[in-house]
């Protein structure tokens, strides 16, 4: 069961639209992340391929070139027998064939359709205040744009996240976030008044993260359903999200330090080529 409670918040300023609304805080008991959260752990390396070694007796000519600190070796070798080209797979059924409908239904049953949620987020951080996020959301297929402030720290969200909302729907979110230091921004504006100042931000109640719509509220309440679902899973899985973000940050700092201490050097490469006795037919040419 989902329990909702209304939350009040101050208007941002006198210029705010009177139709700005505060989201309801829903019980996130059913909201959960699907799969693992990226934590900076590098992926497993792909399986190594067998080395291609050309016997010395099969090397017909060798030239070397220096380029960007590396050596490029070009070897002309004896022709190598290549594997035959496999037969093409059978054509997929046409969209109007019964087989297509059956395949589509089977795939949909195995992979329920997810609602796509793409957001642009600017996260404002300050030593003296909790983070605030200004978000622009353009629901697919509506032609509308919704802007809102959130008390959630969207910087801890991974770039891609698949989750189930409290409404039982599956969502795939993609968040493009930019972090801004409010303190540095205020200092720059004080020193140079023409520098941009931090925007006015609304007051939020303590507790679960919620959001406030700026400007006109979308006519269709379904437009904000994914935003509410994202906040529900943020509240439900906050500790997991924060722990994974901290791990990603540590991994990023370690990678940058390692790259600075051990800058990459170009590797030497060897290119092998051969000529066939019978040139391949040119496509479209007369035989």
pLDDT confidence of residue 197: 87
- Do 162 and 223 lie in a common domain? yes
Give yes or no for residue 23 having a pLDDT over 60: no
Check whether residue 133 and residue 249 sit in a common domain: yes
Query: Residue 138 — very low, low, confident or very high, per pLDDT cuts 50/70/90?
Result: confident
> Can you give the pLDDT at residue 32?
92
**pLDDT, mean of residues 172-198:** 91
Write out the two tokens for 275: 């000529």
Q: For the chain, how many helices (H) and strands (E)?
A: 4, 12
162 and 205 fall within a common domain: yes
Instruction: Tell me the average pLDDT across 132-158.
Output: 88
117 and 183 share a domain? Answer: yes
* For range 251-259, the mean pLDDT: 95
Q: Tell me how far apart the alpha carbons of residues 16 and 215 are, in angstroms, rounded to a whole number.
A: 7
pLDDT greater at residue 3 or residue 61: 61
- The mean pLDDT of 209-234, rounded to a whole number, is 87
* CB crowding 133-150: b at 16 or more within 10 Å, else e: bbbebebeeeeeebbbbb
Residues 130 and 236 in one domain: yes
Give the domain range for residue 62. Answer: 56-79+263-273
Q: Which tokens in the block code for residue 81? A: 């027998």
Do 244 and 129 share a structural domain?
Answer: yes
121 and 255 assigned to the same domain: yes
Q: How far apart are CA 244 and CA 157, in angstroms?
A: 9
For residue 107, is it within any domain? Answer: no
pLDDT for residue 15:
38
What's the number of domains the chain is made of? 2
The per-residue pLDDT for 278 is: 65
Taking only the tens place, the pLDDT of each residue in 51-104 is: 888 999 999 999 999 998 899 999 999 998 888 888 888 887 777 777 777 776
Q: What is the pLDDT of residue 52?
A: 86
pTM for this prediction: 0.69
- State yes or no: pLDDT of 6 exceeds 50: no
62 falls within a domain: yes
Of 135 and 285, the structure prediction assigns the larger pLDDT to 135
Q: Is there a single domain that holds both residue 178 and residue 268?
A: no
**139 and 217 share one domain:** yes
Q: Does residue 209 lie in a domain region?
A: yes
pLDDT of residue 25: 45
Same domain for 71 and 134?
no
**Domain co-membership, 75 together with 147:** no
Per-residue pLDDT at 9 exceeds 50: no
Residues contacting residue 228 through CB under 8 Å, at least 6 positions apart: 23, 24, 26, 165, 166, 167
Q: Are 62 and 165 members of one domain?
A: no
258 pLDDT band, cuts 50/70/90, is very high
Give me the pLDDT at residue 34, please: 92
């Amino acid at each position: 069961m989902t329990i909702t409670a209304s939350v009040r918040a101050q208007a941002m300023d006198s210029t705010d639209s009177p139709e700005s609304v505060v989201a309801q805080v829903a019980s996130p008991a059913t909201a959960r992340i699907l799969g693992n959260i990226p934590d900076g752990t590098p992926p497993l390396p792909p399986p190594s391929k067998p080395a291609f070694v050309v016997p010395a007796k099969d090397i017909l000519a060798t030239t070397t070139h220096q380029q960007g600190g590396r050596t490029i070796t070009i070897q002309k070798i004896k022709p190598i027998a290549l594997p035959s080209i496999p037969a093409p797979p059978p054509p997929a059924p046409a969209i109007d064939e019964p087989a297509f409908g059956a395949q589509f239904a089977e795939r949909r049953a195995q992979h329920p359709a997810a609602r796509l949620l793409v957001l642009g987020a600017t996260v404002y951080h300050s030593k003296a205040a909790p983070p605030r996020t200004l978000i622009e959301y353009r629901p697919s297929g509506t032609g509308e744009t919704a802007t809102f402030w959130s008390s959630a720290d969207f910087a801890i969200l991974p770039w891609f996240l698949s989750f189930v909302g409290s409404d039982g729907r599956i969502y795939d979110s993609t968040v493009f976030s930019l972090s801004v230091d409010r303190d540095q921004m205020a200092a720059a504006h004080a020193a140079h008044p023409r520098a941009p100042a931090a925007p006015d931000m609304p007051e939020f109640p303590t507790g679960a993260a919620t959001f406030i719509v700026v400007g006109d509220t979308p006519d269709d309440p379904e437009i904000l359903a994914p935003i509410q679902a994202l906040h529900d899973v943020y509240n439900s899985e906050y500790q997991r999200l924060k722990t994974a973000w901290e791990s990603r940050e540590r991994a990023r700092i370690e990678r940058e330090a390692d790259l600075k201490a051990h800058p990459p050097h170009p590797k030497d490469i060897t290119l092998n080529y051969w000529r066939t006795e019978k040139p391949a037919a040119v496509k479209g040419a007369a035989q």
